[in-house]
Amino acid sequence: MEEEFESRIAWSEVFKIIKKRLIIIVAVALVLAIVVGLLTAFVFNAGKDTYTLSFDLKSPTSGYPDGTTFTISSLVYAENLQEVKDAGGEQFASLDIAKLSSGGITIADNSIPTEADQVVNYTSRYTITTQSEYFESFDQANAFMRAVAEKYVSEVNERLATRNYTTWENEFARATTYDAQLNVLTSQYNSVLSNYDSLTSTRAYADFIPATLNGVANTLTLSQLRSEAAGDLLINLDALKAEQTANGYVLESENARYYLESQVATLELERSQNADEITALTAERDKLVDQLVNAGANNNIAATFESFNNRIVTLTQRNIEIAYELNKLYASMGYTSSGEGADTTWTEPEDSTKYKTAPPTFTAEIEAIYNQIQVNTSTMEEAIKALYAEFTKVEFAQAQAQVTGGGTSVILVTIAVFVIAAVVVACVFCFVEYPKAKREKEEREAALAAAQAEVKAGPITITEVKDEAAATTTDEDNKEE
* 403, part of any domain: no
Is there a single domain that holds both residue 149 and residue 123? Answer: yes
Contact 109, 128 (CB under 8 A): no
**pLDDT (0 to 100) of residue 467:** 56
Contact 54, 123 (CB under 8 A): yes
Is there a single domain that holds both residue 256 and residue 352? Answer: yes
* 271, part of any domain: yes
Average pLDDT over residues 437-452: 71
Range of the domain at 467: 2-45+408-480
pLDDT band (50, 70, 90) for residue 1: very low
Alpha helices, DSSP H only, in 40-150? 78-88, 97-99, 138-149
Q: What is the DSSP letter of 211?
A: S
Is there a single domain that holds both residue 64 and residue 199? Answer: no
Model-wide pTM > 0.75:
no
Is there a single domain that holds both residue 29 and residue 19? Answer: yes
Is there a single domain that holds both residue 171 and residue 150? Answer: no
* 149, part of any domain: yes
Is there a single domain that holds both residue 29 and residue 87? Answer: no
d(C-alpha 447, C-alpha 466), whole Å = 10
Is there a single domain that holds both residue 158 and residue 208? Answer: no
Contact 199, 205 (CB under 8 A): yes
Boundary of a domain, candidates 123, 142, 163: 163
The structural domain count of the chain equals 4
Question: Is the pLDDT confidence value at 451 over 80?
Answer: no
Is there a single domain that holds both residue 345 and residue 257? Answer: yes
Question: Is the pLDDT confidence value at 2 over 50?
Answer: no
**pLDDT (0 to 100) of residue 285:** 83
pLDDT in tens, 78-133: 999 999 999 999 999 999 999 998 888 999 888 766 565 555 555 568 999 998 88
**pLDDT (0 to 100) of residue 17:** 75
Cα angle, residue 33 at apex, residues 27 and 35 outer, rounded to 5°: 105
* 281, part of any domain: yes
Dihedral angle of Cα 369, 375, 379, 382, to the nearest 10 degrees? 130
What separation in angstroms does the CA of 19 have from each of 15, 179, 288?
Answer: 6, 108, 130
Q: Please name the residues in contact with 397: beta carbons below 8 A apart, sequence gap of 6 or more.
A: 54, 55, 56, 123, 124
Question: Is the pLDDT confidence value at 170 over 90?
Answer: yes
d(C-alpha 331, C-alpha 425), whole Å = 115
d(C-alpha 379, C-alpha 212), whole Å = 10
The closest alpha carbon to 255, from 247, 263, 267, belongs to 263
The dihedral through the CA atoms of 276, 280, 283, 289 has a sign that is negative
What separation in angstroms does the CA of 91 have from each of 86, 100, 412?
Answer: 9, 16, 35
Tally Cβ neighbours within 10 Å of residue 396: 16
| Backbone torsions φ then ψ of 446, nearest 5 degrees | -65, -40
Q: What is the DSSP letter of 352?
A: S
DSSP element (H, E) containing 129: strand 126-131
d(C-alpha 422, C-alpha 419), whole Å = 5
Q: What secondary structure does DSSP assign to 220-248, as a single string? A: --HHHHHHHHHTTHHHHHHHHHHHHHHH-
d(C-alpha 29, C-alpha 32), whole Å = 5
Is there a single domain that holds both residue 333 and residue 469? Answer: no
Is there a single domain that holds both residue 242 and residue 378? Answer: yes
* 183, part of any domain: yes
Contact 380, 40 (CB under 8 A): no
Is there a single domain that holds both residue 114 and residue 262? Answer: no
Alpha helices, DSSP H only, in 231-299? 233-247, 254-294
pLDDT in tens, 322-365: 887 877 777 767 677 777 776 777 777 666 456 778 899 999 99
Highest mean pLDDT (candidates 42-46, 89-93, 430-434): 89-93
Q: Which residues pair with 338 in a beta bridge?
A: 345
Mean pLDDT, the chain, rounded, equals: 80
Strands (DSSP E) contained in 315-373 are 336-338, 345-347
pLDDT in tens, 8-39: 666 777 777 777 778 888 888 788 878 877 76
Secondary structure string (H, E, C) spanning 110-125: CCCCCCCCCCCCCCCC
Boundary of a domain, candidates 109, 141, 163: 163
d(C-alpha 17, C-alpha 445), whole Å = 19
* 299, part of any domain: yes
What separation in angstroms does the CA of 262 have from each of 13, 92, 469?
Answer: 121, 61, 137
Contact 428, 21 (CB under 8 A): no
d(C-alpha 455, C-alpha 464), whole Å = 10
Cα angle, residue 393 at apex, residues 389 and 395 outer, rounded to 5°: 155
* 130, part of any domain: yes
Is there a single domain that holds both residue 29 and residue 129? Answer: no
* 174, part of any domain: yes
